[in-house]
Amino acid sequence: MSKISSLEQAVQTYGVEHWGAGYFGINKYGNLIVRPTKNDVRSADVKLIVDHLISRQRLKPPVLLRFPQIIASQIRELYLSFSSAIREFDYRGAHLAVYPLKVNPRRDVVEAFLQEGRKYGYGLEVGSKAELYAALAFEQTSDSLLVCNGFKDETFIEMAFAAAALGKNVFVVIEKLNELYTFLRVAETARYKPHLGVRVKLYSRGSGRWEKSGGETAKFGLTTTETLEVIKLIKHHRLIDSLKMLHCHIGSQITDIKRIKNAIKEAARVYAKMRKLGVEIEYLNVGGGMSVDYDGSKTSFESSANYTMQEFANDVVYTVSSICADENVPEPIIVTESGRILTAYHAMVVVNVQDEIETVIDEIAPGEVDEDDPQVVLELRDLRDNITSKNYREYYHDALEHKEELVTLFSLGYIDLEDRAKGEVLFWQIIEKVEQFARQSRFFHEEFDDLRKLLAAKYLCNFSVFRSAPDAWALDHLFPIMPIHKLDEPPTEFATLVDLTCDSDGIIDKFVDLKEVKEVLEVHPFSREPYYLAILLVGAYQEAMGNYHNLFGALNEAHIIIDTDGDFHVQKIIPGHSLGDVLTLARYDRNFLLEGFERNLAMAVKRDRLSEDESMLLRQYYEATVNKYTYLD
Ligand SMILES: *Cc1c(COP(=O)(O)O)cnc(C)c1O
Place 246 in a pLDDT band, splitting at 50, 70 and 90. very high
What confidence tens digit (pLDDT) does each residue in 85-101 have?
A: 999 999 999 999 999 99
Ligand 1 centroid–CA 251 distance in Å is 7
H helix or E strand, kind and range, residue 126:
strand 123-126
Q: Note the pLDDT of residue 322.
A: 98
| pLDDT > 90: percent of the chain | 86
Q: How far is CA 378 from CA 132, 417, 425, in A?
A: 72, 16, 12
Taking every pair of Cα atoms in the chain, the longest distance, rounded to a whole number of angstroms, is 98
Alpha carbon nearest to ligand 1 atom 5, residue = 288
Place 524 in a pLDDT band, splitting at 50, 70 and 90. very high
What confidence tens digit (pLDDT) does each residue in 396-448 have?
A: 999 999 999 999 999 999 999 999 989 999 998 898 889 888 878 766 677 77
Mean pLDDT of all residues in the chain? 94
Mutating to test ligand 1, I would choose from 338, 541, 542 the residue with most ligand atoms within 8 A of its C-beta, which is 338
- In ligand 1, the atom with minimum distance to the C-alpha of 102 is 1
Pairing of strands 556-562, 568-574: antiparallel
Alpha carbon nearest to ligand 1 atom 4, residue = 288
- In ligand 1, the atom with minimum distance to the C-alpha of 253 is 7
What residues line ligand 1, using a CB cutoff of 6 Å? 100, 102-103, 125, 127, 149, 249, 252-253, 287-290, 337-340
Q: Note the pLDDT of residue 423.
A: 92
Pairing of strands 283-285, 195-199: unpaired
3-state secondary structure of 352: strand
Q: How far is CA 561 from CA 67, 104, 318, 493, in A?
A: 6, 19, 37, 34
- In ligand 1, the atom with minimum distance to the C-alpha of 287 is 11
Pairing of strands 145-148, 169-174: parallel
Ligand 1 centroid–CA 252 distance in Å is 6
Ligand 1 centroid–CA 100 distance in Å is 6
Ligand 1 centroid–CA 149 distance in Å is 10
| Average pLDDT of the segment spanning 608-622 | 97
- In ligand 1, the atom with minimum distance to the C-alpha of 247 is 13
Q: Note the pLDDT of residue 432.
A: 86
Question: What is the distance between the alpha carbons of residues 537 and 167, in angstroms, rounded to a whole number?
Answer: 36
Mutating to test ligand 1, I would choose from 337, 342, 343, 545 the residue with most ligand atoms within 8 A of its C-beta, which is 337
Place 361 in a pLDDT band, splitting at 50, 70 and 90. low
Q: Note the pLDDT of residue 219.
A: 81
More confident residue, 2 or 380: 380
Question: What is the distance between the alpha carbons of residues 15 and 521, in angstroms, rounded to a whole number?
Answer: 12
Strand partners, 356: 459
13, pLDDT greater than 80? yes
342: number of CA atoms within 13 Å, CB side? Answer: 30
pTM of the model: 0.93
| pLDDT > 70: percent of the chain | 97
Place 210 in a pLDDT band, splitting at 50, 70 and 90. confident
- In ligand 1, the atom with minimum distance to the C-alpha of 337 is 10
